[in-house]
Structure 1
Amino acid sequence: MNQANVVEQLTAEQNQLAKHATNVHKFGGSSLASVKCIERVVDIIRQHCQLNDVIVVSANGNTTDELFRIYHLAIEKGADLSEVILALQHQQAALINSLLNAASAARLNTLLASDIQQISEWMLAAPEQYEAELLAFGEIWSARLLSSVLSETVCPSYALDSRDFLVVNNAIDCFVEREISLRQYRECSRTNQLLVVTGYICKDTKGKSCTLGRNGSDYSATIMASLTHANNVTLWTDVDGIYSADPRVVPQARKLHRLPNAVARELGRLGNPVLHAKTLQPITATNTHLHVASSFDPAVPGTEIGKFGQIAKQELSVTYTNDLILAQSESFIGDSGKQAESVFNALGADTNAGFIVIRQEQQKAVSQWLAAHDTEVSFTPCSILAVVGHNVVSQGQVKARFKRALKHQSCFSIVNSPSGHSLIAVLINPCTTELLNNVHRHMTKDARHIGVVVAGLGNIGQRFLEMLPNQLASVAVLENVHLVGLISSRKALINTDGIEVNQALSLFAEQAKNYDNDLLFSWLSNHPYDELVVVDITPSESFSELYLPFFQRGIHVIGANKWAASSSTEHYQALKNAAQTHKSIWLGNTTVGAGLPVHYSIEDLKRSGDQIIDISGIFSGTLSWLFQTYDGSVPFSVLMLDALAQGITEPDPREDLSGRDVQRKLLILARAAGFTLSLDDIERQDLVPEPLQSLTTEAFLDSAQALDSYFADALSHAKSQQACIRYIASFSANGDAVKASVRLAVLPDSHAFASLTPCDNIFQIKSQWYQDNPLIIRGPGAGRDVTAGGLHSDLVALCQQLVNRTSVVKLKSIEEN
């Protein structure tokens, strides 16, 4: 093949690929309701779309309702339509004139005037013949306007009336005639332009206009994804996802971040207000991902529908539909009943009892179907209330809970869905808001899913993970806690479907990959959980610098890391403010005292109205061991090297002897007590002689005997006074005067700090309530078990705070925008 032919073939292939949209974005009527809304949509398109993507639109705002109103007035005959039609024209013209330049506005207003004239003629002549054609104008005007705005402000764009290519078998089933639709779409589509196509409308095989029903534009969007082989479909609406119940009537409804395909199909079938019954049908056998997001808050992650693991399959939701009909007949028993259930896509059925639940508009068709069977039928108004979730029919505990929730309700029957993904209660009376809220509360209680990311897989991190399986199994508030991330200094394992806690470390060794902070935040910003918690068990100052962006993303932090809580006053206050603003919880009880309840006690005193005036004690397990053990029988350097060999000190013992760690701990506690303090406000005695401070670790250890004379003299002096030496931290406040220091002190042998078990910490807290007899907290202040246990204590405390949180769903009304 010569070079010219190769170029020609590659160009043809590129042009063909160009017709394949990467993304389909659908915008509902509320998202396009006003000038402000449309400008917001344009910004979303500018940020999220590329040429050859597809935009599917509904009619602007309440346009379809107004067209229905015109149609019904026309049917009634004698009603004056002119004012209503003129008001609709003015409404559309106002959008046009506000969003477009003069030339474009003039062109669209001319087209609008022609359409309005056509509407008037149809409605005066034979409105029954033109219902679908009338309703189609809402989407035509919307697509025409948005395409013009995009062409002026963003990129080349063109509008398509979906009736020019989209063909369905009939207006009832609305199954796409794929081959003819695809051929016609390719004939009328253009490359290197952004397509804006009408949702909701199409034609049948006879060329007659028809509509796709409630939320039909969602179905249009997935049809377009199927025709264009799109990778993603985003349904932009006025809520930021699919909820565990209709948030307009259930204030406690919670977002379902991830929804398995089969469960989403069942929700759509049963009448979920966000999902069209057929929305998923065109992309069932594809790898297309479906997202539901809010055009009013596009930065907030919405709901993703697709193939997920066990965590997503645990979600339950509750949905209802009123104004249905219970049809009872002998023909609904056995095989003929199964046939009727399939033919009419019954919302609920029992082929043993002989009934199906249908929509009101199906009553005539059911009567005609039964006439062929020559059997009688009774029709009774009814409603359904359903709990929907992955394989709920096979989950006995879910069914039992559903029955308990309905025990005070007159229920005709509870039936299983054919898919196995819903339990359906058939009610003779309408489902009330009170009943819906009550059942939702029973079915979804304690269902907030909390993802946990553990950073730091050293000694304590490993022990934390070893303890985690038993904690999750035995502590009720941790029921919906899932380990989803493991992070070391260089590698990370993130799995949104959860990491098996019993195999966490081995899975990390096998599957962890290199990461940087950008990659980390790209996942953390789009996590599929109600809450995300980072457990920081690192000693890393650089990792502590991520706390601020964590808080800004609403992520909670449990930290054993001291750097953030002892950072500069300005940075510390910025962290506190960010956590408060974004409702992030920051717990760091293990930063001081390992698992000892020092922070809890300080917080409890403050919360109770007490005022702390003095904090002192021995805050270092290492220094506690050294000075509790040092009696002069061996040189201090020998004792220190022995502690190093046992792992009691840091690899470089100067980290302990410098007092910097104790200084940071005192600062953390003083801040926890409500005082504004910095490290510079705390005097620190460094126990390392200045000549040894700049040496390498190896050189320091070789020269350790230089420490001996100082500590021998200090001990001898103390013993002469029947006293001991201890490295203590002390903080006191007297009005505005604050004194704080960490130093080697001489204490009487009778002092509370004198007789400790080696490695123990002791904390003495004086307050207005505890002045004469201070509060004493004493115990092991270091060690993998107690520190890991303290982290688990924080995790339980954090989850107890989160379990009672509710997120208010704010629905954006047209009037607000």
Structure 2
Amino acid sequence: MKILKFGGTSVANARNILLAENMIKKESLHNRIVVVVSALHGVTDNLIKAAEYASVKDENYLPLIKDLEDKHLDLVKELLPVLEQSAWLSFVKKHFNDMEDIYNGIFVLGEFTDKIRDRITSYGEFLSSNIIAARFQYEGLDAIWMNAAELIRTDSNFANAKVDFDTTEENLKNYITSHQNQIIVAPGFIAKDQHGNMTTLGRGGSDYTAAIIAAAVSAEELQIWTDVSGMMTADPRLASNAKPIPEISYHEAMELSHFGAKVLYPPSIQPVMAKNIDLKIKNTFDPDASGTLVSHHLNRSADQQQQAAAGVSNMSHIALVTLEGSGMVGIPGISAKLFQCLSFEKINIILITQGSSEHSITIAVNEKDVFHAENVVNASFEDDIKLYRMAPVKIETGLSIVALVGENMKNRSGICAKMFGCLGNNGINIRAIAQGSSERNISIVISEKDTRKAVNVLHEEFFESEIKQVHLYLCGTGNVGSKLVQQIYEQNDYLQENHLVNLRIAGISNSRKMFFSDKGIPESEFTNWSEKGIEASVHGFANEIISRNLRNSVFVDVTASTSVPEVYEDLLKKSVNIVACNKIAASSDFEHYKNLKNTARNHNCNFHFETNVGAGLPVIGTINDLMKSGDKITSIQAVLSGTLNFVFNHYDGSRTFSEVVAQAQKEGYTEPDPRLDLTGTDVARKILILAREAGYALQFEDIENESFLPEECLQGSVEDFYNKLTEYENHFKSLLNAAQKEGNILKYTAGFKDGKAKVGLQHASPDSDLYHLYGKDNIVIFKTLRYSEQPLVVKGAGAGAEVTASGVFADIIRSV
């Protein structure tokens, strides 16, 4: 014999019931079956809602009941032929008349007890199972309706009754033995106590009914038919890459369902587990899908055997209750007293954790129970609190539980480290931890706003090792920004295939508009993103990133803005990685620079700014590697401005200095106002950053800047600037002639030695490393304790949107 249970969505309407009927017909060809059905979808909730209305004398309960009556009458008309309808329409009306009398009583008395709740909610399953049985009989199937409520015996704990298994098993065996019909249709969820009062088995109790029947008759198999294709590795509403679990043990299924996997009601596992009955979870709307097998006899694939975890589950609306005090240490009975007072008030404890010092006990309860729990515990320990042996109960709300479950976690080292490491790297703070001695469950309590992020982080770490999703937020869409976007789209397939990384541009902003898409902006839609964007602001962009709270987030600043770095610290504190092309932050006040680096370190994220110096050249990375390996930088000599190098490489006396600068601007090597490049301020920032990364606490004011521009050239508009350059051509010519006279050329250099830094024009002789530096190239020459005789040289293109974008891109990859 097989037991088939169909949930509310599977019997939501006539169309769904006919789908279920087809599967029942096929199964009944080979086996006797018991079909357990839930109430029609939404009926139980509306029965309760109507009662709640009536209990506060709100007459809105009347149209709710009328809608439910019409729903069942329509179902009779759709499932049965006209000649068969009369008796069943009368059947439905009679029972809704009985319900109306009960609701009128609730309305008059203003009282809605658990006993009444069980009575009214029982009608949902009672009606649906009778109508479905009538449909089967009309179809000519050998079917009979079984009143499970008369056979399943419970105590009188209304709304969550406890089953008397011995009596129930005997009743069910006798009934099924004496009724040899091929199909037996039974209502789930409902039972009766020894006095004949209607009781229910808890929400999800139809699963429990099916499991009780399966255990009573030692069924070959229990099938739970629902609207998903089995148990999933995570809640698919939170983790888009969640996948069905082909096979799972009873213990794993019990743990997952207890901590929020709603596809299975937790108590329903125990009866079939005790009798070693296989349980299958199947999809009514995709019957060919394999679903999930819950069994003692698993034949797991090689991939499943390698996986440490079976799934991730979560529960929301959790609160923590903490009892602590020095008076608890070494005193027996404290825990018993705590749990007893909560049990007496029917407050369910979901999770327990206790420090080894016995100084505190923390429990997790449903948030709706927390204030009642607080009052109960404070009252129970009132004397100890008055004598200061214990503190009043401390409560925390707005939390959730996330559990990692799997039989393979037992005796496998590193699971906790892996779990907590990936959560910590994404800025998810853990409030409490519980792990049973079975080692098949590690449960954590976190802020509810982090639930989605935590589930995705864990799912990615334990079930999606092939691809890591990275969410990018780009601030700036100029030359570098647009080149970076192009490179990301072009390279993403390669990164997925070879480095198991998928980059998603989840947000983008310029000075006018910003736009977000958690699933990533497709390349085909990128050109018109601003049309769908909203008004932009730097702080608004950062706040949206923080509120979205996506895993593996990277903020990319490809602006020269002074305001964008203002949000760096807020982002780093939320464990958002930062990649900055912008030099403002790293060259700001030294304490602010150090604070940003420390904040990144303290919050397990990265703050990379390689392109601050030398565009895509590995300059800062080289310094970091030298420092990490124990070397010390003693001096730096460098040409750090592609703009200035271009200008002085092309200024040979055949054209005016003004003409060469104009060419540099035309070819995109300068800012719109070339003075920003020619004053050497940018170079001073760069040598400052290099000195700081080398371990020296310098401020910008400490950099000596020998300007070669006459003061008058810095006044007025850009047009005035070019006019002044022309007027001062003799000045620039004299600088050139002085260098040429010695056989040298002009280079704008930066130098650092003995803790001091300086920028300015310098004569480069033919035997110098600086001499053979062409176009927009940069060069950095390091002398260190190890490279004291022969310096370490980094040389290459130090300007240009494409190479700068590639350097930013490399920093992004390093960040994840």
Report the TM-score, using the length of structure 1 for normalisation. Answer: 0.51
- 184, 205, 226: which one aligns with 2:51: 184
CA contact (8 A) 2:514 2:530 kept: no
What amino acid maps onto 1:628 in structure 2?
Answer: N
Q: Structure 1's 707 and 315: CA in aligned 2 closer, same or farther, altered over 3 A?
A: farther
Q: Structure 1's 180 and 202: CA in aligned 2 closer, same or farther, altered over 3 A?
A: closer
Instruction: Give 1:511 shift.
Output: 1.3
The reply on whether 1:591 has 2:628 as its aligned counterpart is no
Q: Structure 1's 402 and 484: CA in aligned 2 closer, same or farther, altered over 3 A?
A: farther
Q: Secondary structure at the match of 1:546?
A: helix
1:416 maps to none
Question: Whole-Å Cα distance in 2 between the matches of residues 540 and 179 of structure 1?
Answer: 56
The reply on whether 1:380 has 2:264 as its aligned counterpart is no
1:433 maps to 409
CA contact (8 A) 1:271 1:321 kept: no
Question: Whole-Å Cα distance in 1 between the matches of residues 287 and 711 of structure 2?
Answer: 70
- 291, 294, 301: which one aligns with 1:403: 301
Instruction: Give 1:711 shift.
Output: 1.6
- 495, 509, 512: which one aligns with 1:490: 512
2:82 maps to none
Question: Whole-Å Cα distance in 1 between the matches of residues 244 and 702 of structure 2?
Answer: 55
CA contact (8 A) 2:538 2:563 kept: no
Q: Secondary structure at the match of 1:526?
A: helix
CA contact (8 A) 2:568 2:578 kept: yes
Question: Whole-Å Cα distance in 1 between the matches of residues 39 and 273 of structure 2?
Answer: 14
What amino acid maps onto 2:792 in structure 1?
Answer: L
The reply on whether 1:458 has 2:386 as its aligned counterpart is no
Q: Structure 1's 206 and 358: CA in aligned 2 closer, same or farther, altered over 3 A?
A: closer
Matches within 5 A, 1:24-173: none
Q: Secondary structure at the match of 1:486?
A: strand
Question: Whole-Å Cα distance in 1 between the matches of residues 714 and 287 of structure 2?
Answer: 66
Deviation per CA, 1:569-594: give whole Å up to 9, x if none. Answer: 12112212221222220111111101
Q: Secondary structure at the match of 2:548?
A: coil
The reply on whether 1:750 has 2:770 as its aligned counterpart is no
Q: Secondary structure at the match of 2:527?
A: helix
CA contact (8 A) 2:469 2:503 kept: yes
Instruction: Give 1:212 shift.
Output: 5.6
Question: Whole-Å Cα distance in 2 between the matches of residues 517 and 322 of structure 1?
Answer: 51
Q: Secondary structure at the match of 1:701?
A: helix
CA contact (8 A) 1:484 1:496 kept: yes
CA contact (8 A) 1:449 1:529 kept: no
2:269 maps to 359
Q: Secondary structure at the match of 2:493?
A: helix
Question: Whole-Å Cα distance in 1 between the matches of residues 694 and 747 of structure 2?
Answer: 24
Q: Secondary structure at the match of 2:585?
A: coil
Q: Secondary structure at the match of 2:506?
A: strand
2:132 maps to none
CA contact (8 A) 2:48 2:117 kept: no
What amino acid maps onto 1:498 in structure 2?
Answer: G
Q: Structure 1's 656 and 391: CA in aligned 2 closer, same or farther, altered over 3 A?
A: farther
CA contact (8 A) 2:638 2:781 kept: yes
Q: Structure 1's 482 and 385: CA in aligned 2 closer, same or farther, altered over 3 A?
A: farther
2:642 maps to 621
CA contact (8 A) 2:538 2:564 kept: no
Question: Whole-Å Cα distance in 1 between the matches of residues 474 and 584 of structure 2?
Answer: 17
CA contact (8 A) 2:639 2:645 kept: yes
Q: Which has the higher contact order (CA 8 A, sep 6+)?
A: 1
Q: Structure 1's 620 and 315: CA in aligned 2 closer, same or farther, altered over 3 A?
A: farther
Question: Whole-Å Cα distance in 2 between the matches of residues 741 and 190 of structure 1?
Answer: 84
Instruction: Give 1:445 shift.
Output: 1.9
Structure 1, unaligned stretches of length 5 or more? 1-168, 192-196, 215-263, 276-302, 326-344, 349-356, 365-378, 396-400, 410-429, 800-817
- 308, 311, 314: which one aligns with 2:241: 314
CA contact (8 A) 1:632 1:715 kept: yes
Question: Whole-Å Cα distance in 2 between the matches of residues 607 and 508 of structure 1?
Answer: 42
- 541, 544, 550: which one aligns with 1:520: 541
Q: Structure 1's 360 and 747: CA in aligned 2 closer, same or farther, altered over 3 A?
A: closer
Instruction: Give 1:563 shift.
Output: 0.5
Q: Secondary structure at the match of 1:541?
A: coil
The reply on whether 1:559 has 2:455 as its aligned counterpart is no
Q: Secondary structure at the match of 1:684?
A: strand
CA contact (8 A) 2:781 2:792 kept: yes
User: Please, which moves more after superposition, 472-481 or 619-628?
Assistant: 472-481
- RMSD value over aligned CA atoms? 4.3
Q: Structure 1's 672 and 212: CA in aligned 2 closer, same or farther, altered over 3 A?
A: farther
What amino acid maps onto 1:380 in structure 2?
Answer: N
Q: Structure 1's 402 and 664: CA in aligned 2 closer, same or farther, altered over 3 A?
A: farther
Question: Whole-Å Cα distance in 2 between the matches of residues 605 and 568 of structure 1?
Answer: 24
Instruction: Give 1:798 shift.
Output: 1.5
1:418 maps to none
Deviation per CA, 1:136-155: give whole Å up to 9, x if none. Answer: xxxxxxxxxxxxxxxxxxxx
1:798 maps to 815
User: Please, which moves more after superposition, 660-669 or 466-475?
Assistant: 466-475
CA contact (8 A) 1:748 1:754 kept: yes
Question: Whole-Å Cα distance in 2 between the matches of residues 622 and 201 of structure 1?
Answer: 83
Question: Whole-Å Cα distance in 2 between the matches of residues 495 and 555 of structure 1?
Answer: 17
Q: Secondary structure at the match of 1:714?
A: helix
Question: Whole-Å Cα distance in 2 between the matches of residues 175 and 201 of structure 1?
Answer: 19
- 773, 779, 782: which one aligns with 2:790: 773
What amino acid maps onto 1:792 in structure 2?
Answer: F
Instruction: Give 1:190 shift.
Output: 9.4
Deviation per CA, 1:328-370: give whole Å up to 9, x if none. Answer: xxxxxxxxxxxxxxxxx9979xxxxxxxx98342589xxxxxx
What amino acid maps onto 1:686 in structure 2?
Answer: S
Instruction: Give 1:393 shift.
Output: 6.2
Q: Secondary structure at the match of 1:676?
A: coil
What amino acid maps onto 1:322 in structure 2?
Answer: Y
Question: Whole-Å Cα distance in 1 between the matches of residues 528 and 288 of structure 2?
Answer: 30
Instruction: Give 1:200 shift.
Output: 14
CA contact (8 A) 2:606 2:815 kept: yes
Q: Secondary structure at the match of 2:757?
A: strand
The reply on whether 1:728 has 2:744 as its aligned counterpart is no
Deviation per CA, 1:524-561: give whole Å up to 9, x if none. Answer: 12225222101111111111111111112211111110
Question: Whole-Å Cα distance in 1 between the matches of residues 290 and 716 of structure 2?
Answer: 69
CA contact (8 A) 2:47 2:121 kept: no
Overall identity of the aligned pairs, in %: 28
Deviation per CA, 1:721-759: give whole Å up to 9, x if none. Answer: 1112111000013xxxx1210011122122110111211
Corresponding pairs, count: 469
Q: Secondary structure at the match of 1:449?
A: strand
Instruction: Give 1:183 shift.
Output: 2.2
1:370 maps to none
1:205 maps to 120
Question: Whole-Å Cα distance in 1 between the matches of residues 601 and 269 of structure 2?
Answer: 49
- 706, 727, 735: which one aligns with 1:714: 735
Q: Structure 1's 170 and 186: CA in aligned 2 closer, same or farther, altered over 3 A?
A: farther
CA contact (8 A) 1:628 1:755 kept: no
Instruction: Give 1:604 shift.
Output: 0.9
CA contact (8 A) 1:616 1:730 kept: yes
- 771, 775, 781: which one aligns with 1:764: 781
What amino acid maps onto 1:203 in structure 2?
Answer: D
Question: Whole-Å Cα distance in 1 between the matches of residues 647 and 539 of structure 2?
Answer: 43
2:690 maps to 669
Question: Whole-Å Cα distance in 1 between the matches of residues 244 and 701 of structure 2?
Answer: 55
The reply on whether 1:784 has 2:801 as its aligned counterpart is yes
Q: Secondary structure at the match of 1:573?
A: helix
Q: Structure 1's 402 and 474: CA in aligned 2 closer, same or farther, altered over 3 A?
A: farther
